């Protein structure tokens, strides 16, 4: 198919001139005179592309020569070149090319604009050739091309707008109409404008503008149905099938209920009379036999709630100013050190077996004595429980006799501060904490291993050792010192 074209400065003015369209046309004039780009006007099908071309040709700058053609499928590049030669009076070569024609136009130094309507039929190869020519013009650019198409060409334009042709394609949309421009457009294109006085009220015009948004394509699609005379008539509301079925079912149910009551009216009378007699019999019973309400329901009993806050004068008499400190319990053991495996404190608490009496048969078992003294409250920490081993009875008796004998012979106690495998470490501990007075390093053997114990002081009675526990240096309190006998603990340093 051939491409149709026309070029004339005496074209009729477009009957419709929206302000947004005129602004876009002024921008196109600026691009033609001062830039070197490929212009693409995009609009929907039926969006006024032909009207925009008429308005564009009527408002182009006088120094711009133009030619308008309509592309058809398949697009013919030879026909495009022939129309350029004829419209702009170029030299007709034997085999004209786009590059040779553009060279002639640039030699004349007069701006030329080619406008292609329905450009969605133009192939990508032709657009690529045009972009090569536009790119080669650089500063001396007098050949310009404006394609007008729908949005089906946007994919090809995006593929071409790459690194080689970056910023050489400029897309333009005509824009929407205002509410007053929409009314002018409707009065110009709707038939019988006299009849529109009834259908085109201000409220209906506002509803129509909200429906279309001022888009030409949607205005052309909806205006005939929205402003027709039949649009004001309310369509008859057909009776729905659901309403008919509901009414029929209701009538059937009412009929069945009436038929059932009519046939069973004697039985209903007997049932009603029997229920009335039972009610009368219940009313004749004495009041004493009737169930009386509980006393708790009659008398309101005020129970204090868990969340109740007492008055301030009561709270101050019962509330403690400071929580009581935790009590510290110290276990004292006089048992034989050879059988005691709890020499080293594993954590914050030390568990020591209680001492037994010499004769378990006649004398009851004596619990170990404890010393309580108060210290500031400390956070409670989880302590691993040590396994308790129950020794044989004969071994316990021997241990009790040995402890009693040692207590009678020596009668001396000391305070163990720390235990370790190396005496040098204990001496470093003494120098680090400055506790040189009355401190001794003693030696003890456990399971074939040698341990060194750091002790402080020697006391003839256990009460003296307890009193000394309250005056220990603060630096050794975290290591949980405890009272023990000095028997079997030779001094080594």
pLDDT higher than threshold 60 for residue 356: no
Q: Which two tokens stand for residue 272?
A: 């009603």
- Confirm whether 138 is domain-assigned: yes
Whether residues 191 and 146 fall in one domain: no
- Confirm whether 52 is domain-assigned: yes
Which CATH number fits the domain that encloses residue 135?
3.40.50.300
Residue partners of 413: CB distance under 8 A and separation at least 6: 458, 459, 460, 461, 462, 464, 465, 483, 484, 485, 486
Whole-angstrom CA distances from 232 to 195, 269, 423 are 12, 61, 111
CB-neighbour burial class of residue 352 (10 A; exposed 0-12, middle 13-18, buried 19+): middle
Structure-model confidence comparison of residues 15 and 345, the more confident one? 15
- Confirm whether 360 is domain-assigned: no
Q: What pLDDT score does 430 carry?
A: 85
- Confirm whether 55 is domain-assigned: yes
With bands split at pLDDT 50, 70 and 90, how would you rate the model's confidence at 378? very low
Whether residues 183 and 151 fall in one domain: no
Which CATH number fits the domain that encloses residue 437?
3.30.70.1070
pLDDT higher than threshold 70 for residue 202: yes
For the stretch 449-483, pLDDT in tens is: 888 888 988 888 888 888 888 888 888 888 888 88
Structure-model confidence comparison of residues 211 and 368, the more confident one? 211
Cis peptide preceding 74, ω within 30 of 0: yes
The string of DSSP codes covering 391-428 is --HHHHHHHHHHHHHHHHHT--EEEEEEEES-HHHHHH
Whether residues 116 and 228 fall in one domain: no
For the stretch 269-290, pLDDT in tens is: 666 665 555 555 455 554 444 5
Whether residues 109 and 201 fall in one domain: no
Picking from 60-69, 217-226, 259-268, 336-345, which range would have the lowest pLDDT averaged per residue?
A: 336-345
User: Buried b / exposed e across 324-350, counting CB within 10 Å, b at 16+?
Assistant: eeeeeebbbbbbbbeeeeebebeeeeb
- Confirm whether 440 is domain-assigned: yes
With bands split at pLDDT 50, 70 and 90, how would you rate the model's confidence at 402? very low
- Confirm whether 434 is domain-assigned: yes
Whether residues 109 and 42 fall in one domain: yes
The string of DSSP codes covering 156-183 is HHHHHSSSTTTT-EEEE------HHHHH
Whether residues 215 and 151 fall in one domain: no
- Confirm whether 69 is domain-assigned: yes
- Confirm whether 29 is domain-assigned: yes
Integer Cα distance of 71 and 117 in angstroms:
6
Whether residues 104 and 159 fall in one domain: yes
Integer Cα distance of 434 and 442 in angstroms:
19
CB 342 within 8 A of CB 386: yes
Whole-angstrom CA distances from 9 to 50, 83, 95, 415 are 17, 16, 29, 120
Q: How many domains does one find in the chain?
A: 3
Residue ending a domain, among 232, 267, 300, is 232
Whether residues 50 and 134 fall in one domain: yes
Domain hosting residue 63, numbered range: 19-172
User: Buried b / exposed e across 401-440, counting CB within 10 Å, b at 16+?
Assistant: ebbbebbeeeebbbbbbbbeeebeebeebbeebebeeebb
Integer Cα distance of 221 and 47 in angstroms:
10
Residue ending a domain, among 163, 198, 232, is 232
Whether residues 23 and 131 fall in one domain: yes
Whether residues 433 and 477 fall in one domain: yes
Whether residues 202 and 61 fall in one domain: no
Residue ending a domain, among 172, 192, 210, is 172
Helix axes 179-189, 202-212, angle to 10 degrees: 100
Q: Which two tokens stand for residue 17?
A: 């001139």
Integer Cα distance of 165 and 37 in angstroms:
10
List the one residue out of 435, 415, 418 whose CA is nearest residue 475: 435
Whether residues 166 and 74 fall in one domain: yes
Adjacency order of strands within the sheet including 449-459: 439-446, 449-459, 413-420, 482-485
Q: Average of pLDDT values for 196-219?
A: 81
């Amino acid at each position: 198919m051939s491409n149709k074209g026309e070029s004339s400065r005496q074209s009729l003015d477009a009957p419709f001139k929206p302000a947004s369209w005129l602004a876009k046309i002024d921008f196109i004039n600026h691009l033609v005179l001062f830039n070197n780009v490929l212009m693409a006007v995009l609009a929907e099908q039926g969006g006024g592309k032909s009207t925009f071309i008429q308005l564009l040709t009527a408002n182009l700058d006088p120094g711009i020569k133009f030619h308008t053609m309509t592309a058809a499928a398949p697009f013919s590049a030879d026909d495009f070149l022939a129309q350029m030669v004829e419209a702009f009076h170029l030299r007709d070569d034997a085999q004209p090319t786009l590059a040779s024609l553009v060279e002639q136009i640039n030699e004349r130094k007069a701006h030329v604009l080619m406008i292609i309507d329905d450009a969605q039929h133009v192939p990508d190869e032709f657009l690529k050739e045009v972009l090569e020519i536009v790119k080669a013009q650089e500063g001396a650019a007098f050949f310009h091309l404006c394609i007008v198409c729908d949005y089906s060409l946007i994919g090809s334009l995006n593929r071409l707008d790459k690194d080689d042709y970056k910023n050489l394609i400029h897309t333009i949309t005509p824009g929407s109409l205002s509410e007053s421009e929409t009314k002018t457009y409707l009065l110009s294109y709707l038939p019988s404008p006299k009849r529109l006085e009834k259908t085109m009220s201000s409220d209906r015009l506002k509803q129509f503008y909200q429906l279309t948004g001022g888009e030409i394509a949607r205005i052309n699609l909806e205006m005939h149905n929205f402003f027709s005379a039949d649009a004001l008539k309310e369509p008859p509301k057909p009776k729905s099938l659901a309403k008919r079925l509901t009414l029929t079912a209701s009538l059937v149910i009412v009929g069945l209920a009436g038929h059932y009551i009519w046939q069973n009216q004697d039985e209903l009378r007997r049932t009603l009379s029997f229920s009335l007699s039972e009610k009368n019999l219940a009313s004749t019973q004495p009041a004493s036999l009737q169930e009386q309400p509980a006393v708790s329901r009659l008398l309101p009993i005020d129970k204090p709630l868990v969340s109740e806050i007492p008055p301030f004068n009561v709270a101050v008499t019962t509330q403690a100013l400071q929580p009581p400190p935790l009590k510290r319990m110290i276990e004292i053991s006089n048992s034989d050190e050879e059988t005691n495996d709890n020499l080293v404190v594993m954590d914050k608490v030390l568990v020591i077996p209680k001492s037994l009496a010499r004769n378990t048969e006649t004398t009851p078992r004596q619990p170990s004595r404890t010393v309580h003294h108060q210290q500031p409250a400390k956070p409670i920490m989880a302590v691993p429980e040590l396994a308790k081993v129950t020794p044989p009875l004969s071994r316990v008796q021997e241990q009790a006799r040995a402890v009693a004998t040692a207590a009678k012979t020596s009668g001396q106690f000391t305070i163990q501060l720390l235990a370790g495998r190396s005496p040098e470490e204990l001496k470093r501990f003494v120098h680090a904490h400055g506790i040189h007075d009355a401190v001794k390093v003693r030696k003890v053997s456990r399971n074939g291993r040698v341990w060194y114990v750091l002790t402080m002081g020697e006391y003839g009675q256990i009460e003296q050792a307890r009193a000394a526990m309250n005056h220990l240096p603060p630096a050794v309190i975290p290591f949980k010192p405890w009272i023990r006998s000095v028997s079997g603990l030779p001094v080594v340093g």
